[in-house]
Structure 1
Amino acid sequence: MAITPATLTDVPELVALINSAYRGESSKKGWTTEANLIGGQRIDNEGLTEQMSDPDAVILKNTNEEDSITGCVYLQKRGEKLYLGMLTVSPTLQANGLGRRLLTTAEDYARNINYHTITMTVITTRTELLDWYERRGYTKTGEVIPLNITKRNGILNQPVEMFKLEKTI
């Protein structure tokens, strides 16, 4: 299994993977689902293409022996910090260490481009996910941010807030 930068030709497969891990019935097979909080899709082809076209952003993808994408992570330079988002593992492969490998690779990527702080946001009610990141050295900054999304990226079933987390590497 290799973790490499994704390209625009990967967009349809990445969109399917991300949506399967975060939303809908398929996401309930894993522990990263947001389906009970947010309906609809997480991302679409156009939105992911926009994110990948940003010169300050990259998506790292994990591929298996059959060259299928089984995981990914989005990284974007934001000032002096690197933002990490959409850490995604196929719901049927979760809890096998792939998320940890993607996170470690993201941290290595940050060091390689001379970034020393990684930030992210996590939904405040996702205690198991917050615990997972905290075990890996990420800490809450004290900042709580309301989640505001367009219908293009889902429909909130209730008000949702996110903690900002950070790690110095």
Structure 2
Amino acid sequence: MIEPAIRRAASKDEARLGALQKRAYVKYVPLIGAEPQPMAETPAMLLAGYEVWVVDGVEDGLAGALVLRTAADHLLVWSVAVDPTQQGTGLGRRLLDFAEAQALERGFSEVRLYTNALFTENRKLYAHLGYAETGSETFEGRELVHMAKALAATA
């Protein structure tokens, strides 16, 4: 079976992106007592201020989205959203692999991300994928854990 392509999001994806962000992150609301940051950003804000990549899903919805921001010395994975029906299929890992490939193509040797300290499953997954915790900070009353992965260019 051919996996749907990861493609750059366009303005036509705005409504589907917003719906995906809500589906993917709503499960965290009871845990932290508020909407996670990716739910607070409107799709228009994401498309205007970040680099957004998407994977089309079934029934005109998006299966996943990756939001990136380029920094001076690394690529930041700002958000990885996977539709709940697609979680556990490897799509999240595929999106992170794509982010790492993008970083290498741009000459970066590091990818960074951050997650809520209470999202222990995410922290374990990121650690399993080679991301190390590099620090933490309090942001808008929430504890964020910063993580980074060193990348090695392949010959």
What TM-score bracket applies, with the shorter chain setting the length? 0.7 to 0.9
**TM superposition shift of 1:50:** 2.5
SS across alignment from 1:35: helix
**1:48 matches 2:43:** yes
**1:164 matches 2:150:** no
CA distance in 1, matches of 2:60, 2:93: 20
Structure 1 letter corresponding to 2:8: P
Deviation string, structure 1 residues 75-131 (Cα, Å, up to 9, x no partner): 001221111022010012211111111111111111122222111111112221101
Unpaired runs of at least 5, structure 1: 28-32, 149-158
Higher normalized helix content (fraction of residues) = 2
1:116 is matched with which residue? 109
**TM superposition shift of 1:145:** 1.2
Q: If the length of structure 2 is used for normalisation, what is the TM-score?
A: 0.85
SS across alignment from 2:88: coil
1:151 is matched with which residue? none
Structure 2 letter corresponding to 1:7: A
**TM superposition shift of 1:51:** 3.0
Q: Is the 8 A contact 1:88 1:99 kept in 2?
A: yes
Q: Is the 8 A contact 1:15 1:43 kept in 2?
A: no
**1:9 matches 2:9:** no
1:35 is matched with which residue? 30
1:107 is matched with which residue? 100
Alignment of 1:42-121 (within 5 A): 42-44=39-41, 47-54=42-49, 57-64=50-57, 68-121=61-114
CA distance in 2, matches of 1:34, 1:105: 28
Higher RCO (CA < 8 A, seq sep 6+): 1
Alignment identity in percent? 25
| CA RMSD, 1 decimal | 1.8
Give the 3 Å change call, closer, same or farther, for CA 60–130 of structure 1 in structure 2: same
Unpaired runs of at least 5, structure 2: none
Q: Is the 8 A contact 2:32 2:118 kept in 1?
A: no
Q: Is the 8 A contact 2:69 2:76 kept in 1?
A: yes
2:137 is matched with which residue? 145
